[in-house]
Chain A
Amino acid sequence: MRLIFWEWKKLFSLPALWGFLALGFLLNLGFIFGQSENQRSIFNGISACTAQLGQRVDADFMERLENLPADPNKELIWATAEGMEDIFETYDTDDLKTFYQSVMGSSPLAASWAGWKYDLLSKRVEQLAQKDAAMDLYAGPVTQEVHQFLFGTMIRSILAQAAVAAMLGTLYLMGYERIHRTADTLYTTHTGRKLLRIKVRAALLAVPVLFALAALPALAVYFLRMDYRGIWQASVSSQFNYLTDLLFSRPFITWGDFTVGQYLGAVLVLGIFLTAGFTLLAALCGTLCPNPYLAALALGGFCVGGLMAASVLGEMHLWVAYDLALFQLPAVWLCSNAWFTELGSSAVLPWQETVTVIFNLLVLEAGTAGALKRFSRKDVAA
């Protein structure tokens, strides 16, 4: 722990790290204050009402709503909630299945995977129908925009900032002794080359801190402006929440039951693990490539190249290869607006974002351990 402290001292005394986090915060502020005032006003109004009424739209809800004093929010909610029906009772995932199977028609194997996924999804739809999840109001007419703003814009931006900060921080730690020409002195101490292992541990332990530094200030400002008191308990699978993939709209069907609060919590937890995955990727590059600048180039190439490769494979209709290429961390980041849903063309498995993060953590952990072992058996370059 004493050595972890010293590595943290190196990391957190790096002015560029704080500069980067500050720039990220400014960017997030730009997003937050660029949000439509009208949308915000409707959201806060609905939230204030649903804090009293609850989220589930049923006869009791309508009765309580009727008893509220007249105001524009009451009228809006009334107009939205009147005649609401549980869309999941009649929803058929065959439409989605047929759509994706036709898209992937050139590859029978990929089409069969898509069919399997949407067959599983139909069972999930039945569960949602039993629980009347679609009958939650969430934020009524502004649900989709606000949900996508929070999880598609804000969280994606926070994830990117945390991942970049963690990756650059890790590379900085891994290359620190080379930059300062201290490798010869430090690798001949009792700790020796295990110092690199300690750096990886320090970088991994710094992940929740970096994530919190990227997320908390921005989310604090966001939640100060957006009143979620009446929203937290809403199901994210409310009928007002939906997703669009390849121009095909579908309800926000998650593989598990999530309220907005639980969904945010789950996204943040997975975000920390995703950031840990990027940290291990940086540690692997930093161990294999002693020059920190080359390691940064390799890392950037890997992240951008991986996404580009997946995109090209999709364009070329090589769907099996495309599906396999999605099991990479940047692809998980890219679909953060729809985590824990069926993810459309971005997944072949239920919970794919979670599976991909765990898979990458295991592979990268093994890869980094191997690279560290190799490092302990090779000459220390001057």
Chain B
Amino acid sequence: MLSVEHVTKRYGDFTALEDITLTLTPGVYGLLGPNGAGKTTLMKMIATLLFPTKGQILWNGEDIFSLGADYRGILGYLPQQFGYYPGYTPRQFLRYAAALQGIPEREGEKRIRQLLTLVGLEDKQDWKLKKFSGGMIQRVGIACAILNDPKLLVLDEPTAGLDPRERVRFRNLLHSLAQDRIVLLSTHIVSDVQTIADQVIMFRNHRLFCCDTPGSICARFNGRVFQVPADTPLTAGQRILSEAQGEEGAVLRILTENPPAGAVAVQPGLEDAFLAIYGEE
């Protein structure tokens, strides 16, 4: 179990995160928030790259910074920008990562073979990484993050750069990984969170706004999201969430307590909730 207890992170006068308290048990947690909300800061603190200014982060009741290597041994982390050595092949890079993880060589070889197959790079294992596309590099990053079979997997924008087919493959992979471990991921792709996450964590004004299931978050907006033709005149209290192309032309999804005439009530999705919560920021 991972507990984030009253964690604050400040850089001089700037507060990146204020008094965050969370308890994470096995399952998939999606972090949502606009740019600069503090998602990456929280993930970096959980990954021990940043130290909290206040508060503490506990793994099974022990401070993660005191646990040191024992904690990092159960941690898998994919940073927002996965760096790599261009002159290495994915196999070489993973061998190096395995050495850093303290995985014995023979065991590491077996694990690397499995992972390269899992991420669909088995036929490119001897290519230099400099020849890889962004999506392929991201797949190497994912393999690297799960190399040590982590109990806690922290993924910062893992689907960035992946094409739709790769994203589906990744979602499936994540489902299979999430059985008995904590997976914390952040993404800008709300549909990914809706599909993958058991719980969604949202920040607002650098504070925790909510931590709930996608269904519960969407339910907060039940009866307040409507679809209207794009040329419908809107009045005060009627906020546009998004615009889309419907079968009969452009349509707007709006958030309101007082729908205009002709508005059709729709089931709010997580994207509607996201836009409703952050729309005015």
A binds B: yes
Residues of A within 8 A of B (CB): 2-3, 6, 10, 13, 177, 180-192, 194-195, 377-380
Contacts of A378 in B (CB 8 A): 51
Q: Are A190 and B148 in contact (CB under 8 A)?
A: yes
B87, CB-defined interface residue at 8 Å: yes
On chain B, the residues within 8 Å of A190 by CB distance are: 69, 72-73, 100-102, 148
Q: Which of B19-27, B75-83, B114-122 makes up part of the contact surface?
A: B75-83
Say yes or no: A379 contacts B102, CB within 8 Å.
no
Q: Which of B68, B69, B82, B99 contacts A185 (CB 8 A)?
A: B82
Q: Distance (Å) between the CB of A323 and the closest chain B CB?
A: 44
A75 to B78, CA, bound (A): 80
- Is there an interface contact between A189 and B81, defined as CB atoms closer than 8 Å? no
Q: Is the CB of A188 within 8 A of B83?
A: no
Q: How far is the CA of A182 from the CA of B101 in the complex (A)?
A: 15
- Chain A: minimal CB distance from B101 (Å): 5
Q: If A192-B48, A378-B51 touch, does A185 touch B73 (CB 8 Å cutoff)?
A: no
Chain B residues bordering chain A, tally (CB within 8 A): 31
Q: Within the complex, what minimum Cβ distance (angstroms) separates A328 from chain B? A: 35
Further 20 A-B residue pairs, CB within 8 A, beyond A6-B96, A188-B48, A192-B68: A2-B99, A2-B105, A10-B85, A177-B83, A183-B83, A184-B44, A184-B83, A185-B82, A185-B97, A185-B144, A187-B49, A189-B72, A189-B97, A189-B100, A190-B69, A190-B100, A190-B102, A190-B148, A191-B101, A380-B44
Residues of A within 8 A of B44 (CB): 184, 380
Q: Which of B75, B78, B85 has the most CB of A within 10 A?
A: B85
A377→B52 CA distance, assembly (Å): 11
CB contacts (< 8 Å) of A377 on chain B: these are 51
Q: Within 8 Å of chain A (Cβ to Cβ): is B268?
A: no
Taking a contact as CB atoms under 8 Å apart, the answer to whether A180 and B85 are in contact is yes
A380 to B69 CA separation, bound complex (whole angstroms): 16
B202 within 8 A of A: no
- Give Cα distance in the complex from A215 to B49, angstroms: 42
Residues of A within 8 Å of B77, CB to CB, are 184-185, 188
Cα(A2)–Cα(B79), bound, Å:
25
B141 interface residue (CB < 8 Å to A)? yes
Pair A185/B83 contact, Cβ less than 8 Å: yes
Q: CA of A13 to CA of B87 in the docked complex: distance in angstroms?
A: 10
Q: A379 vs B100: C-alpha distance in the bound complex, in angstroms?
A: 20
| Contact B72–A192 (Cβ < 8 Å) | yes
Q: Tell me, rounded to whole Å, the shortest Cβ–Cβ distance linking B71 to chain A.
A: 9
Expressed in whole angstroms, the Cα–Cα distance for A80 and B48 within the complex equals 74
Q: Are A188 and B50 in contact (CB under 8 A)?
A: no
Q: Are the CB atoms of B69 and A191 closer together than 8 Å?
A: yes
Do A182 and B99 touch (CB < 8 A)? no
Residue of A nearest to B99 (CB): A2
Chain B residue at minimum C-beta to C-beta distance from A176: B85
- Of residues 98 to 116 in B, which have CB atoms within 8 Å of A's CB atoms? 99-102, 105
Q: Is B209 an interface residue (CB 8 A)?
A: no
Q: How far is the CB of B216 from chain A (nearest CB, A)?
A: 32
The answer to whether B84 has its CB under 8 Å from any CB of chain A is yes
Chain B residues with CB under 8 Å of A13's CB are 87
Closest Cβ–Cβ distance, residue B210 to chain A (whole Å): 27
Closest chain-B Cβ to A114's Cβ sits at a distance in Å of: 52
Q: Choose from B49, B51, B84, B85 the contact partner of A188 (Cβ within 8 Å).
A: B49
Are B84's CB and A180's CB within 8 A? yes
CA distance A191 to B85 in the complex (A): 18
- What are the residues of chain B within 8 A of A180 when measuring CB–CB? 83-86
Shortest CB-to-CB span from B43 to chain A, Å, is: 10
Q: Whole-angstrom distance between the alpha carbons of A186 and B81 in the complex?
A: 13
With A and B bound together, what is the CA distance between A194 and B48 in angstroms? 13
Contact in complex: A379, B101 (CB < 8 Å): no
How far, in angstroms, from A378 to B81 measured CA to CA in the complex?
21
Min Cβ gap A14→B in Å is 10
CA distance in complex: A177, B73 (Å)? 20
Residue of A nearest to B76 (CB): A188
Which residues of A sit under 8 angstroms from B144, Cβ to Cβ? 185
Question: Which of A182, A195, A379 is close to B49, meaning CB atoms less than 8 Å apart?
Answer: A379
Using CB atoms, name the residue of chain B closest to A379: B50
Question: Per-residue CB proximity of B155-194 to A under 8 Å, as 1/0?
Answer: 0000000000000000000000000000000000000000
Shortest CB–CB separation between residue A1 and chain B, in angstroms? Answer: 10
Q: Which residues on the A side are within 8 Å of B255 (C-beta)?
A: none
**B47 touches A (CB below 8 Å):** yes
Would you list 16 pairs from A and B whose C-beta atoms are within 8 A, ordered by A residue?
Answer: A6-B99, A13-B87, A180-B83, A180-B84, A180-B86, A182-B85, A184-B77, A186-B100, A188-B47, A189-B148, A190-B101, A190-B148, A191-B101, A191-B102, A192-B72, A195-B100
Pairwise interchain contact A182-B100, C-beta atoms closer than 8 A = no
Residues of B within 8 A of A2 (CB): 99, 105
Residues of A within 8 A of B83 (CB): 177, 180-185
B81 / chain A contacts, CB cutoff of 8 Å: 181, 184
Cβ contacts under 8 Å, B99 to chain A = 2-3, 6
Q: Which chain A positions have C-beta within 8 A of B47?
A: 184, 188
CA distance A321 to B224 in the complex (A): 80
Question: B100 and A191: CB pair below 8 A?
Answer: yes
